[in-house]
Amino acid sequence: MSGNELIDLALNQPLAADEFKPVDLHLDRQDGLTVKWSDGRASRYDLGYLRKMCPCAQCRVEREKPKSPARPSGAGASLTVLPANIDKAATFTDAKLVGNYALNIVWGDGHRTGIYDFRYLRLICPQHGDPTARA
């Protein structure tokens, strides 16, 4: 399931369902985001993972772009140029709750438009297996 499909799946879940209600949120510069859910589960998200899974429109478009085709084995080495601010991309400068349904994280590279709906966070939890199995 693509990132966009996960976002759509999450937003079609009932907002009031207990499994999507956090009872504790802790965002740490070293340990990432830890969420304790009202059903007793706990989730931990690495900051790099959260940045990669940003649900904003710009990031959704970037994730859905076709990947470059693989180079033939004799075609020579390829050089990937990383952005100058790559070290800041997975650090945060600020975070705040959005109503009672989401978390907005301002990333070190200046990116600030990702609103992480709690339903989406629950579905992308790295510790609880394939989120598409719950669809």
Give the pair of three-digit tokens for residue 133.
Answer: 């199995």
Give the pair of three-digit tokens for residue 76.
Answer: 């020579």
Assign 3-class secondary structure to 83-128.
Answer: CCCHHHHCCEEEEEEECCCEEEEEECCCCCCCEEEHHHHHHCCHHH
Condensed to tens digits (0 to 9), the pLDDT of residues 34-69 reads: 999 999 999 999 999 999 999 999 998 888 888 766
The pLDDT mean for the chain works out to 82
Higher-confidence residue of 2 and 74: namely: 2
Determine contact, residues 20/129, Cβ cutoff 8 Å.
no
pLDDT mean over 65-78: 60
pLDDT of residue 71: 53
pTM: 0.76
